[in-house]
Amino acid sequence: MNTAILHLDSAQRRINERAQQIYDKQVDRARRQMDRLMLLLMLLQWIAGVAATLWISPHTWIGSISQPHVHLAASIVLGGMISALPALFVWRMPGKPITRHTIAVSQMLWSALLIHLSGGRIETHFHVFGSLAFLAFYRDWKVLITATVVVAADHLVRGIYIPQSVYGVLVANQWRFLEHAGWVLFEVSILTVGCVRGLREMWDVALRRSEVEEAKSLTEIEVQKRTEELRLAMEASDAANRAKSAFLANMSHEIRTPMNGVVGMAGLLKGTNLTEEQEEFADTIMASATGLMAILNDILDFSRIEAGKLQLDETDFSVNEVVEQVVGLMASNAAKKNVELLIDIPAETIAVVGDSVRLRQMLMNLVSNAVKFTNEGEVCVKLTTTQEPDQKLKLRFEVRDTGIGIPEDRQAAIFESFAQADNSTTRRFGGSGLGLAITRRLLEISNGTFGVQSKVGEGSTFWFELTLPKGTIAPESEPMISLKDVKVLVVDDNSTNRRIVSAWLTSWGTNLWTAESGSAALETLEARKEGFDVVLLDYLMPGMDGIRVAQAIQERFGENRPAVILLSSVENEHSRADHASFGIDAWLTKPLQSQKVRQAIERWVSKNGEQKSKRNQTQGEQDSPLKGLRVLVAEDEKVNQRVAMAVLARLGCDAVLAENGDEAVQRLSQQKFDLVLMDVHMPVMDGREAARRIREQEAGTGRHIPILAVSASAMQQDVALCLEAGMDAHVAKPYTPSQLVEKITTALEQFGAAA
Ligand code: ADP
């Protein structure tokens, strides 16, 4: 309470002090202005005085004869003298009381001079009243007193000695000055009241302005306080975010390291002689580990996007390739469930500039969901494009399934993180509920749009649209062989697939027939005497499967049969050699890719004139492409050492182990290697330092041994640090044997030549 009063008191004191400052300044400014105004008035009076002397005084003083009078000198000299002193004061001391009082005296002397020049005319006495009114603008009643004293004294003295000068008569009553002084006092008292009130109003205005200023400064202080609080809160939140990112990076590293043991060993185990039951166990370990890694990657991605740390790449890429890769990866899952997986994209290459990795991730999320939530029927990935201004292309992706569908009231919620349409789905289908949330965020960053249409029991269509600049990927070289007028029969029970393949074939200029079953196909083949060039034959069809149709074609048409290309999404029990004996010339795995279909047809069209016995090369067991490769493995962790050494031994490589970076550098100077697998975190000398040393040793020799960083730190910046240290590529732990082969092969292709 007391402090509140103290606060109020000090606030009031501040307001009053400030009001006083404002008031003083205003009054001073007003008085300085008045000083200048009065000086101007005096100058005018001087001119008026000279004029009066020339035209009025001759008449008033000597009757009808008009001639310049000695008063001319008086008005020029005296008037000049009267004005000179105030001019000096206004120049040297503007706004000071002495200046005002001097002006008051001078002004009243001007009145006296003018009255004298007009020969004491009573009208000229009004000059006195006017002057007093002007002086009142100073809002200083003391100035009026000075003026009054001067007027009274002047009237008294001149009334006694030269009454004509002041009253216009030769003889005047010596008390007449009292009457004049009385009128002057009357006016001065009224003007004094005006002065006091004027000053009070100025004070009120100053006080109000000071109060407003105080309120404003209080608001500013409050705003500053809040801004500071906000800044501190943001700093705290930034620090928390950094801590979260660091925690995630650590956690990711800690989980990936043991997972490398699990994935690597499970992969190796699967390559040994196992009983059926053991094989199943190994598969389960592999599938669980892969699932766990997918969730871990999702969480990492999600937190990266949330923290605004995700940056999109911009490279030229072919959208067709991305779609085909995604669908290819999901093909075996779909085939296992007997779900038809279809690609419906334009036959020509669509090149754009954007982030192909993120596009693949978004499509993968949608396609894997579609396959996961569909138990029968089909999943179709469709791409349509629209030309946009500025060399841009709008891509619309649709992933349509005939799965369980999503209730309407849950359709908005599933785009949120960790949300699922029905919580029981987690138990039935698994999943973390992050896939759609990540896709949505990625599309937000890319300025895309995202949506779903779905009906429970009928299926769902997830779609998204992206506008990207057109890319400059060189279009695939013009096909050498024209397919114009080639006669093709497409046999498939799935109408969507018939439609998609038909669209490609039509765009290549073929003559096209379709049949929806084996028996219908045979009828069409019988009916057309001119025959067909190629039959695209689906394997899984109700009634008669593709192999039986192919056999029937072989039996009926013998040597004159068309080329038969089998389309199959499932592994069948027949070997490739069997296929040939059934009358099958080539086989393509579904989901079909337009280029592959075209190449298969081209191959058989070009061989038309040649012997048809030339069959596809049987893919014999090839030697491992990495056989004999000398690899130095730098790794400190026991389990990971065993994984790496075992995988490399399986691939036929000659692998040598170094326990840390320092040992690796020494080994390299003693022995020749083709490639280094370098763990990043190692005691004594870490992988990055070792890579730097190796590159230093190579400097100027023209040698460049490929170094692959192997690390459980999979964040973008970790990869960048490895590359900065001179390594060529990055393999994230955990890795499967095939992933390692792929990375090594790519690195050898790119950097091996200089090794
Ligand atoms: P997850 O699939 O890992 O649970 P998502 O974010 O990818 O997470 O999906 C969230 C939820 O949306 C799923 O759990 C499921 O309930 C629903 N959903 C997604 N795609 C489909 C689909 N094609 N058909 C039916 N439901 C779907």
φ/ψ region of 702 (left if φ > 0, alpha if ψ in -120 to 50, else beta) reads: left
CA 40 / ligand 1 centre spacing (Å): 91
CA 252 / ligand 1 centre spacing (Å): 25
Which pLDDT score, from 0 to 100, does residue 368 have? 92
Which pLDDT score, from 0 to 100, does residue 430 have? 58
- Nearest protein Cα to ligand 1, atom 3: 431
CA 372 / ligand 1 centre spacing (Å): 9
Distance CA(533)–CA(456), nearest Å, equals 44
74 near 53, Cβ under 8 Å?
yes
pLDDT digits (tens, 9 = 90+) for 141-159: 999 999 999 998 988 888 8
Q: Which two tokens stand for residue 299?
A: 């969480």
Strand 586-589 and strand 563-568: the pairing is parallel
CA 357 / ligand 1 centre spacing (Å): 21
Q: Is 406 in the pocket of ligand 1 (CB under 6 A)?
A: yes
Phi and psi, residue 535, nearest 5°: -115, 125
- Nearest protein Cα to ligand 1, atom 8: 433
pLDDT digits (tens, 9 = 90+) for 191-231: 999 999 999 999 999 999 999 999 999 999 999 999 999 99
Q: Is 436 in the pocket of ligand 1 (CB under 6 A)?
A: yes
Q: Is 57 in the pocket of ligand 1 (CB under 6 A)?
A: no
CA 317 / ligand 1 centre spacing (Å): 28
Q: Is 411 in the pocket of ligand 1 (CB under 6 A)?
A: no
Q: What angle do CA 22, 24, 27 make, to 5 degrees?
A: 105
Please identify which residue in the block is written with the tokens 């000086």: 39
Q: Is 137 in the pocket of ligand 1 (CB under 6 A)?
A: no
CA 462 / ligand 1 centre spacing (Å): 10
Is there a cis peptide before residue 562, judged by omega within 30 degrees of 0? no
519 near 546, Cβ under 8 Å?
no
Q: Is 432 in the pocket of ligand 1 (CB under 6 A)?
A: yes
Q: Which ligand 1 atom lies nearest to the CA of residue 399?
A: 23
Q: Is 404 in the pocket of ligand 1 (CB under 6 A)?
A: yes
CA 637 / ligand 1 centre spacing (Å): 38
CA 8 / ligand 1 centre spacing (Å): 63
Q: Which ligand 1 atom lies nearest to the CA of residue 401?
A: 23
Q: Is 459 in the pocket of ligand 1 (CB under 6 A)?
A: no
Buried b (16+ CB within 10 A) or exposed e, 45-62: bbebbbebbbebbbebbe
Positions in the chain whose pLDDT score sits under 50: 1, 63-66, 425-427, 477-478, 609-622, 753-755
- Nearest protein Cα to ligand 1, atom 25: 405
- Nearest protein Cα to ligand 1, atom 22: 370
Q: Is 535 in the pocket of ligand 1 (CB under 6 A)?
A: no
Q: Is 298 in the pocket of ligand 1 (CB under 6 A)?
A: no
CA 420 / ligand 1 centre spacing (Å): 6
207 near 152, Cβ under 8 Å?
no
Q: Is 317 in the pocket of ligand 1 (CB under 6 A)?
A: no
- Nearest protein Cα to ligand 1, atom 19: 369
CA 375 / ligand 1 centre spacing (Å): 14
Which pLDDT score, from 0 to 100, does residue 58 have? 60
Which pLDDT score, from 0 to 100, does residue 171 have? 67
Which pLDDT score, from 0 to 100, does residue 49 have? 74
CA 79 / ligand 1 centre spacing (Å): 104
Q: Is 431 in the pocket of ligand 1 (CB under 6 A)?
A: yes
- Nearest protein Cα to ligand 1, atom 17: 421
Which pLDDT score, from 0 to 100, does residue 382 have? 94
**Which one of 290, 299, 302, 369 would you pick to mutate in the ligand 1 pocket, going by the greatest count of ligand atoms within 8 A of its CB?**
369
CA 280 / ligand 1 centre spacing (Å): 27
Q: Which ligand 1 atom lies nearest to the CA of residue 431?
A: 3
- Nearest protein Cα to ligand 1, atom 11: 420
Contacts of 736 (CB under 8 A, 6+ apart): 263, 264, 267
Q: Which ligand 1 atom lies nearest to the CA of residue 422?
A: 16
**Which one of 290, 420, 439, 463 would you pick to mutate in the ligand 1 pocket, going by the greatest count of ligand atoms within 8 A of its CB?**
420
Q: Is 414 in the pocket of ligand 1 (CB under 6 A)?
A: yes
Q: Is 58 in the pocket of ligand 1 (CB under 6 A)?
A: no
Contacts of 329 (CB under 8 A, 6+ apart): 364
pTM: 0.51
CA 690 / ligand 1 centre spacing (Å): 45
CA 303 / ligand 1 centre spacing (Å): 20
166 near 154, Cβ under 8 Å?
yes
Distance CA(653)–CA(740), nearest Å, equals 12
> Helix/strand/coil (H, E, C) string of 481-518?
CCCCCCEEEEECCCHHHHHHHHHHHHHCCCEEEEECCH
Contacts of 211 (CB under 8 A, 6+ apart): 15, 19
Which pLDDT score, from 0 to 100, does residue 620 have? 33
